[in-house]
Structure 1
Amino acid sequence: MDTLAPGILLIADPFLKDPNFARTVVLLCEHQEEGSFGFVVNRQFEQKLDELIPAVLTPNIPVFFGGPVQMDTIHFIHQLPDLIEGGSEVFPGIYWGGDFAAVVELINAGVLDLQKIKFFIGYSGWSSGQLEGELTEKSWIISSINPPVLFSGDEQEIWKQSLQDKGTNFAMMANFPIDPSLN
């Protein structure tokens, strides 16, 4: 698989130095000629959802650093299309966005399965041709999505597991040191 499309994962090369994306996995939600965007799915943000959105009454719902663009926006992906209207399907059974006010109501009512939704502050964006250039530079490894890993709740393992899911050649990369010069 080497085609950019919604629903694929961009796994950061083990030696990618950009601090925003080192050892990250990005779920690509949109890819068009004008540009692309997605969310880093494995880097937890320091604040919780109720700290960012006062209308949320349930404490300790994690928020993830979606990327460095528009850090004043909240986004979400989910597996709950029957409860959350207006989402865009980015992969079979995985949706981006929808009616945020309804999400807040469902959280406050205690009826939303929090294992099937993930919130992000900011997003990752690329202008026309930028992501293709980064692929040419081998900054990213393209992979198919593994929904259970994406929503596993074990963010520390998503990068390693995504590499291991690609097979033996990539599984070895999952254990590369962060800075090989320290070896």
Structure 2
Amino acid sequence: MDVLKPQKGRLLIAEPSILNDNSFKRAIVLLTEHSETSSVGFILNRPLHYTLSDLVPDINCDFTVYQGGPVEQDNLYFIHKIPELLPNSVEVTDGIYWGGNFNYLKEHLNNHKVKPSDIRFFLGYSGWEPTQLDDELNTNSWFISKNKYPNILAINNKTFWKDQLLKKGGEYKIWANAPSDVQLN
């Protein structure tokens, strides 16, 4: 079986071996950029206890905000599937886009033209310098999967990591059912 390489639009899935890493344990990251100079992505399965209107008071919207990663956690980012509403969006993978004109977005959110399944907001991002991600892959911190979800924005956050491990099979099935704090076992 060929081992997948990092690529824009693919998923990084945290290996069970990094359960002690608070930034990335049980994380699934959508890579939005991957080049020789850097890699950037957002953790898809880590909702925070904030809504968008908690962070941006002039937006009347109760969409959940997610922890995107440990870098620049005071900045808001978003991925979406509505490029026709948001000029300057960058396509990440089939039908999923990153960023765009925030003023247009505010207007569309306040006019209720955007559904929660159309967009996901993040505080911070996950970033890697040149060779850093390759080093982490070589030390079995992550495995890579193709994004086979028609709408990655509508995934089940609670079971997403477990589901990916079950799909991988073998010893991963054991880890898929392990408690989140293995020291309590």
TM-score by length of 2: 0.89
Cα distance, 1:148–1:83 mapped onto 2, change above 3 Å: same
Cα contact 2:17–2:140 (8 A) shared by 1: no
**Aligned residue number for residue 160 of structure 1:** 162
Q: Does 1:46 align with 2:49?
A: yes
Q: Does 1:83 align with 2:85?
A: yes
Cα distance, 1:149–1:162 mapped onto 2, change above 3 Å: farther
CA distance in 2, matches of 1:117, 1:147: 15
Q: Which ranges in structure 1 are unaligned for 5 or more consecutive residues?
A: none
Task: Tell me the alpha carbon deviations over residues 112-146 of structure 1, each in whole angstroms, 9 at most, x when there is no partner.
Answer: 12211100010001111101000000000101113
**Aligned residue number for residue 131 of structure 1:** 133
Which amino acid in structure 2 is aligned with residue 127 of structure 1?
A: E
Shift of the alpha carbon at 1:179?
Answer: 4.9
Identity %: 40
TM-score by length of 1: 0.90
Cα contact 1:35–1:127 (8 A) shared by 2: yes
**Aligned residue number for residue 28 of structure 2:** 25
Runs of 4+ in 1 over 4 A off after TM superposition: 179-183
Q: Which ranges in structure 2 are unaligned for 5 or more consecutive residues?
A: none
**Aligned residue number for residue 68 of structure 2:** 66
Cα contact 2:71–2:124 (8 A) shared by 1: yes
Cα contact 1:115–1:153 (8 A) shared by 2: no
Shift of the alpha carbon at 1:5?
Answer: 0.7
Root mean square deviation of aligned Cα? 1.8
Aligned residues: 181
Shift of the alpha carbon at 1:159?
Answer: 1.1
Task: Tell me the alpha carbon deviations over residues 89-116 of structure 1, each in whole angstroms, 9 at most, x when there is no partner.
Answer: 1111111111111111101001112211
